[in-house]
Amino acid sequence: MKQDKPAAKQQVSWVGYAALFFALIFFSGIFSDAENWTRVLDFTVLQGSFGIIGETGKAIFRGTGGTGARDGFMFALSLMPSVILALGVVSVIEGLGGLVAAERLLSPFLRPLLGVPGVSGLALIASFQSTDAGAGMTKALYEAGDLTDEERTVFGAFQVSGAAPITNYFSSGAGLFQFLSVPIIIPFVVMLVFKVLGANVIRLYIKTVAKKKAVA
């Protein structure tokens, strides 16, 4: 994902901004529950699900009751489709100039908020739906030189805390909604606040304690 020249010096056409807009919509989960053709604009919908083997109604190719390295390998194998799909979409967005547009538009927000460049905006949005996609995109950004080691650490802290909040909260947590005494959105906002807070705690640690140890 490394650009041929610095993003700040590149011209961004309307195609780049359109590609960025599409990517934000695609990874945001807005159309995940749509009942019409707009469902195809959602990452999790296109990611799909594995079919059922036999008549158990539960087991996929990974099976059930597995343990140890073999089950771990099968679990890792099940993550590949989502990561490959996410990285493929990002490659297309990059080719259209979407990452340069993200750098231009999102840096003024992400720099003061998390200390990361705007080019990481797509990975941030993707991590709200899929930890695998977010991690894969972050790894690609780091290997391309778009994120420093310190930025990657802070960004990783943001993603791991309350990982994939849209998917986990609105699916796994849906069973508890009836017991909430506050609007459903309030706990979600609290999660986002603490994700940012946790990332900045790590950011502060790196700037103070970690650097002092490195100097010593």
pLDDT tens string 58-76:
667 777 778 899 888 888 8
Q: What is the mean pLDDT of the chain?
A: 84
164 Cβ neighbours under 8 A, 6+ residues apart: 127, 128, 129, 130, 131, 134
C-alpha to C-alpha distance for 24 and 126, rounded to whole angstroms: 8
C-alpha to C-alpha distance for 193 and 152, rounded to whole angstroms: 19
Q: What pLDDT, on the 0 to 100 scale, is given for residue 122?
A: 87
Q: For 124-128, what is the mean pLDDT?
A: 89
211 band by pLDDT with thresholds 50, 70 and 90:
confident
Q: What pLDDT, on the 0 to 100 scale, is given for residue 9?
A: 54
174 band by pLDDT with thresholds 50, 70 and 90:
low
Q: What pLDDT, on the 0 to 100 scale, is given for residue 99?
A: 84
With 70 as the cut, is the pLDDT of residue 28 above it? yes
Q: For 38-65, what is the mean pLDDT?
A: 78
Phi, psi values for residue 161, rounded to 5°: -70, 115
Query: Contacts from 92-97 at CB under 8 Å and sequence distance 24+?
Result: 92/19, 93/19, 93/20, 93/22, 93/23, 93/122, 94/1, 96/15, 96/16, 96/18, 96/19, 97/10, 97/12, 97/13, 97/15, 97/16, 97/19
Q: What pLDDT, on the 0 to 100 scale, is given for residue 15?
A: 92
CB 130, CB 84: distance < 8 Å: no
Rounded to the nearest 10°, the torsion over CA 159, 153, 133, 173 is -20
Q: What pLDDT, on the 0 to 100 scale, is given for residue 168?
A: 82
With 80 as the cut, is the pLDDT of residue 4 above it? no
